[in-house]
Amino acid sequence: MTAALAIRQTAALTKRSSLAILRQPALIAPSMVFPLFFAALSASSFNKTTALPGFPKVDSFLQFALASTVIQGVLFGSVAGAAALATDIEIGFFDRLLASPTSRPGILIGNLMGSAIFGAVQAAVFICALLPFGVRVEAGLAGIFVMIISGGLIALGIASLMSAVAIRTGSAEAVQGSFPLLFVLLFFSSAFFPRELMQGFYQTIANFNPVSYLVEGMRSLVLDGFSISAITRSIVVPLGICVFGMAFALAELRRKIRSR
């Protein structure tokens, strides 16, 4: 199989994956609406916490919450792509792809790229939705671009991990059942409160939680401006998750092919 043919096949599967996500409104609507609702609720309830000693200098709590809003939506939205893959396995379409002369890595990458595109679109939508309410991104347009790329990478990484679950179980319900785990990871991080002001066991968990570093990288772009440290945390951390997730998903794909 030529590289050009494999690329065309992957592009076709990417288009199909993107459309499959859009056809799951019950999954994507909460990931688009709930983060914005929670951002508005948090800004109303916790705005006075910005006056606490040690709290980062912000214009408002909504500015502080921009990064967590993006991460929250992308984490939840990344489940939709893996659920679509599990549905393909349940109805037998995935087995037909494996039986056809289709690039094996392209089958997986095509499905995952739909999630990456959706994650990037989500990040852009959340940023554009909050900017009119006085939220300022100190890093400017370049910082916004990095946040959008980071959103796509985060979605790709989480979708890779969820796709491994989909290939292993062949069950959309099992993939959707992972949602509470993402919820716990998010809320036991520094997404909604700075780690410097946490105490005890909660702070310990947040220190080891990779979501904390994802959020803080984006937050640094919003609050502090463009810096190597912010770019590293916003791009390199999700890239690491992508590498691990892709390796895991490809290993599950090879196992499934051998078992056929």
Tens digits of per-residue pLDDT, 50-97?
Answer: 888 888 888 888 889 999 999 988 888 888 777 777 887 788 877 787
Contacts of residue 24, Cβ cutoff 8 Å, sequence gap at least 6:
80, 83, 84
Using a pLDDT cut of 90, give the percent of the chain over it: 14
Estimate the crossing angle of helix 61-91 against helix 104-130, to 10 degrees: 150
What's the pLDDT at 78?
82
Task: Tell me the domain boundaries of the chain.
Answer: 3-259
> What mean pLDDT do residues 18-28 have?
76
Q: Tell me, rounded to whole angstroms, the distance of Cα 134 from its chain centroid.
A: 25
